[in-house]
Amino acid sequence: FLVICGWSWSCRARFEAVATAPSMLGVVAVALPVAGWLLASLGDIELLEQLALIGVFGGLAVLMAGWRAAMVLLPPLSMLIFCVPILDELNQQLVDMSALVVGNALELTPITSFMIGNTVLLPSGSLVIAGGCSGLRYLVIGLAIANLASSMNALTWRSQLIANALAIVLMLAVNWFR
C-alpha cells in the first residue's frame, strides 16, 4: 500500500514506527461512510458518492491498522480528494478572473479592444474565454503536487498551507500568462 501511495522512506519509517493492530472502532469508521455512500447513491448524488468512497478507504485503514496508523496514512489517503471533481464549481469564477486579467492586460497595449463579459472584441474578430481556459486543471494539478510534496517531505501544517497558497498563485499566474 505504501509503495502505491508513493511515500518516501521517512514516511514509511513513521508508519512502521506506529504500532498497528486491527481496531473494532474501524467497523464504525467503515459503516458510516458506507451508509453515506448508500444514501448518496439512492439520491443519485455522484459527488457525495465519490467523497464517501474516500471515507470508506480511511475507515478501512482504521479497521485494519488502528487509529494511530490511520493518522499516518491520512496524507496519502487525502490525495484521493484530487480525483473527485469537487473544485469544478470554481470553473466559472476562474473564467471570470481570466477575462478580467486579459481585459486589464489588453488595456496596457495599443491594441483596440472591448470586453463584453468573457468575450474580447478586436478589430479583426473576437476571442471568447471559454470554460477550458479557466485554469481549473492547472489549479487542481498544482494543489495535488503541493500536497504530495508536503506529505513526502513531512512538512508542518503551516508549511503545507504556504505550499498550497504558492501553488494557487503560481497556477493562476501560469494560466493567465498562457
Q: From CA 147, how far away is CA 57, in angstroms rounded?
A: 18
Average the pLDDT over 26-45 and give the result: 93
Higher pLDDT, 106 or 2: 106
What is the biggest distance separating any 2 CA atoms in the chain, rounded to whole angstroms? 70
Q: From CA 84, how far away is CA 124, in angstroms rounded?
A: 41
* E strand map for the chain: 114-116, 119-122, 125-128
pLDDT tens for 55-100 read 999 899 889 888 888 888 787 788 888 888 888 888 889 988 888 8
Question: Which of 4-18, 31-45, 121-135 has the lowest average pLDDT?
Answer: 4-18
Q: From CA 135, how far away is CA 90, in angstroms rounded?
A: 10
Q: Is the pLDDT of residue 1 over 50?
A: no
